[in-house]
Chains A and B, each alone.
Chain A
Amino acid sequence: MQRPNQQTADPRRVMTGLHFLLGNYALVEGAISAGCDFFAGYPITPANEISERMSQRLPQVGGSFMQGEDELASIYACAGAALAGAKAMTATASAGFNYMQEGLGYCYTVEAPLVVANVMRTRGDNYATQSDIMQLRHGASGDYEAIVVCPTSVQDLFDYTIWAFNLAETYRNPVIIASETTIALMRERLHIPAAEAILLHNRRYTEKTPAEYLPFAAHANAAPDMAPLGKGYNTIYSLNPHDEAGRIDWDPEGFERLYKRITGKIRENEPKISRTQGFYMEDAESVIIAYGSEVRPAREAAQMLREEGKKIGVLQLCNVWPVPEGAIAEVASQVGHIFALEMNLGKYVGEIRRVVKDRCPVTSVTKNRGLVHTPWEVCAAVREVLK
């Protein structure tokens, strides 16, 4: 089935209304609304509710669900289905995400649109953490760029999943949803809009004949048009270096050109992809930069600190990869201090420092104790610096 490049969501798939829903379920409803019609996954806590609800919901909308024999089977089944035309998705949690790196590497290289939800958890148990934030970008070998979105709430799990599918289809790239135990296993108010208010982007299919078609030729910084599978276009989707015609090509000129294009289509479009949201930024003298569930205590802490007269703002990074460099640099040139808040022992702060350079000092605020920062912990860390 070839979908139009743009369409609104199918009303039969959208549970319009107000709900009090589990985060993992909200993610599934986002995927179903976005047109997801293939899911393969392997059991792992705390992502099981995603598989379970998918197994119930996909057959109702004509999609396919499979439980793979392992994570590798799941991600490759998704790759196969995606190349066969499906809007495919898998979900896992940190330990399972390790196994999926190989399949992700394949999808980056053959430009398979795919959405992967990784519910980050601590090793061996299901405590909340943001420890995988660098792996989400750097897990697979090879030269590629990742797109990683970071929901902060049950509502975001719905909204960002639709965004993730739109990005995957637009850029023909895997998109990773950096979910977390905190929000995945939380129930919260969810408003699902009317189907006609949900805009979907779909991959472009070639209008060329098989003889004219070059499967990996694209305009600069854009994804190439796809061809339907099994219709005589005879495309080779190989992990090996390949030229514009899809032929395996070990010529360094050829494969550097390929890697430049698949990284360039993300790097050059960073401003178009990236979203950030500022809170209390108008008069902020210091800013907390946070992503995912850590945005919540950051916002509450800013409110509390403002009552003490400290002009604190919050910059939420809706995506961490590609790095929203423009937004971070702009904040750095306007404020006196940046606090990088994350639920790990200090990882993404390196990216923030790289972008900030010497514009202002950056303090890393960390925690890895299985629980999201409390607002008063954030307040204490800020007070420590801004005495």
Chain B
Amino acid sequence: MSVNVNPKANPNAKANPNPKANPKRKFLREEKLPHFFCSGCGCGQVLNYFTQALEALQMDVEKMLTIGGVGCTARMPVYLKSDTFHGVHGRTLAWATGVKLHNSEIPIVIFAGDGDLVSIGGNHFIHAARRNLDVTVIMVNNLNFAMTGGQVAPTTPVGSVTMTTPYGNDEPAFDVAQLAMAAGATHVERWTTSRPVQCEQAIRRALQHKGFSLIEIVSQCPTHFGRYALKSGDPGKLLQWIHQNSYLLDQENRLTAEEKHSKLACGIFRFQAGDSPHLEKKVERAHKQQEDATPNTSNITPNNTAVDQISTLPYPQRLTLCGMGGQGIILASVLLGTAAVTLAGLHAVQTQSYGSEARGGQCQAELIIDREPILSPVAQKKDLLLAMFSEAYHKYIPDLKEDGVLVYDTDLVQPESRKGKSYGVPATQMAVGLGNRMAANMVMLGFLAEMFGVISVEHLEQVVISEVDERFRELDLNAVRAGVEFAGQIKAQERGEA
């Protein structure tokens, strides 16, 4: 493959002033010519159909974005006087999706070979069709990987000899037009370079269509597919072969299965209006939400917030909350941290872990609360363990300091005797009494607040009001109060014993 480059060409060359020159040259970057396509290649024809369509529709290519990936066809945008993305294999539609989502007004035309579009780019192709992305895709199907030297492609007919199928291709080929339709494209046509008028008209329809247009043009590759698969490098003979191996859709019913066998149907497969939900509705919704949105600003300023000293535990406080998934262990730790940071002006670090099954399995949250910024998030031994599930209790009890405090749900955990203080709270039972066992975590929070002042009861109630779903607010506040009351009784008992 020869590459034609003139490094001295003037980048600002003006269009050919010769009035007899082809008027479509105004669409081309003069300084890029001559093009690099092999003689007899169909890419030149397709570029011609495209510029004819532009001329017919009086479209301004300079305001367009044309995209090519890698391959012979992918080089076509480089000759067009437009903005161009080029040079990465298979990603043409991914680029286009980003551009369209950000600025849906830029018209986009993609030139892709069969390898670029449905081999390496296959996933992007079906998803762009599914989204009905508003782009025109012109796929030049030369039935093989040409730029790399004539290897088999997913479009190569069965039996064909190529550089990587020396004994003939065993794999069936993609019907790309059918693939596009199945995925949801709203405009699909297939033609051949032997039908130039139809090709040009198809491109015109595509440029005017709002939605995903696939124009597949089956084209001759005299240098590779022709020589290896068809034993001829004569472009004329190849054009004839392509023509004979295709038929028109409107003749479909008149032809026998044998006559249609391994031939490509040509015509308009689908041409219908349809929206691009991914783009239009999203943009519309975004604008509406923008109007509705109010700045989500908290009024608390950090520097003049008094740091509360309410806790009976010394700082830093290292807490583990553990139980089973679904008990609201994580939520409990988040509420404690939120109150400590945003209401008490303290510092807090929360980390969490789940067992392999999230619901019903073990779950654990670690929380460190301190008056100073917290450096290491890993605390060796804990000051307090809240356990609401037997298995989790056994797993985390070794991390509790000897004289650390254990708080457990009396119905769910049977603790072993230990040196430090242990408090049993029938939290689940109390929550059931309040109407929902799910509020056991709130009972425990009320207990922690009143018993140890991990956070103040007032801050706890405030954070429940601001952070908990409205549906559970009343229940949760009642549960918090029940926990507070229970702690009050224990404290009274302790005072009595003292």
Contact = CB atoms under 8 A, between A and B. Distances in A.
Nearest to B336: A20
Interface stretch (A249-257, A324-332, A333-341, A355-363): A249-257
B106 A77 contact: no
B377 A372 contact: yes
B99 A81 contact: yes
Interface in B384-399: none
Nearest to A1: B103
Interface residues of A, number: 85
Most B C-beta atoms less than 10 A away, residue of A37, A210, A237: A237
B297 interface: yes
Contact of A62 (B64, B83, B287): B287
B350 interface: yes
Contact of B98 (A40, A58, A253): A40
Given A84-B102, A375-B376, A15 B296 contact: yes
13 contacts: A14-B295, A17-B342, A18-B298, A59-B289, A61-B293, A73-B94, A77-B97, A188-B374, A189-B373, A230-B106, A243-B11, A245-B12, A371-B378
B106 A189 contact: no
B85 A73 contact: no
Contact of A81 (B98, B124, B334): B98
B295 A11 contact: yes
Interface in A294-351: 296-297, 299-300
A80 B99 contact: yes
Contacts of B289: 59-60
B91 A103 contact: yes
B349 A187 contact: yes
Given A230-B83, A249-B7, A19 B341 contact: yes
Interface in B344-401: 345, 347-352, 373-378, 380
Contacts of A76: 88, 91, 94-95, 98
B375 A187 contact: no
Given A18-B305, A60-B293, A61-B290, 18 more contacts: A14-B297, A58-B286, A59-B286, A60-B289, A60-B290, A64-B101, A64-B282, A73-B91, A73-B97, A82-B98, A84-B99, A188-B347, A188-B374, A189-B373, A238-B78, A248-B5, A297-B378, A374-B376
A300 B376 contact: yes
Contact of A83 (B85, B107, B347): B85
Contact of A230 (B103, B127, B338): B103
Given A73-B97, A182-B377, A185-B352, A245 B285 contact: no
B443 to A, nearest CB: 22
What size tier do the contact residues of chain B reach? Answer: 35 or more
A362 B467 CA distance: 49
Contacts of A296: 375-377
A250 B349 CA distance: 55
A211 B7 CA distance: 19
B24 interface: no
Nearest to B36: A248
Contacts of B65: 229-230
Interface string B295-309: 111111110010000
A214 B11 contact: yes
The secondary-structure label for the interface of chain B is mixed
Contacts of B299: 17
A280 interface: no
Most A C-beta atoms less than 10 A away, residue of B95, B290, B348, B350: B95
Nearest to B31: A247
Contact of A188 (B78, B300, B348): B348
Contacts of A293: 377
A232 interface: yes
Contacts of B9: 247
Listed from nearest, the 5 A-B pairs whose CB atoms lie closest are: A17-B298, A80-B98, A77-B98, A239-B87, A76-B94
B243 interface: no
A97 interface: no
A371 B290 CA distance: 41
A85 interface: yes
Contact of A15 (B11, B285, B295, B342): B295
Interface string A244-282: 110111110110000000000000000000000000000
Contacts of A240: 86-87
B63 interface: yes
A383 interface: no
A251 B3 CA distance: 11
A358 B286 CA distance: 58
Interface string B424-459: 000000000000000000000000000000000000
B305 A37 contact: no
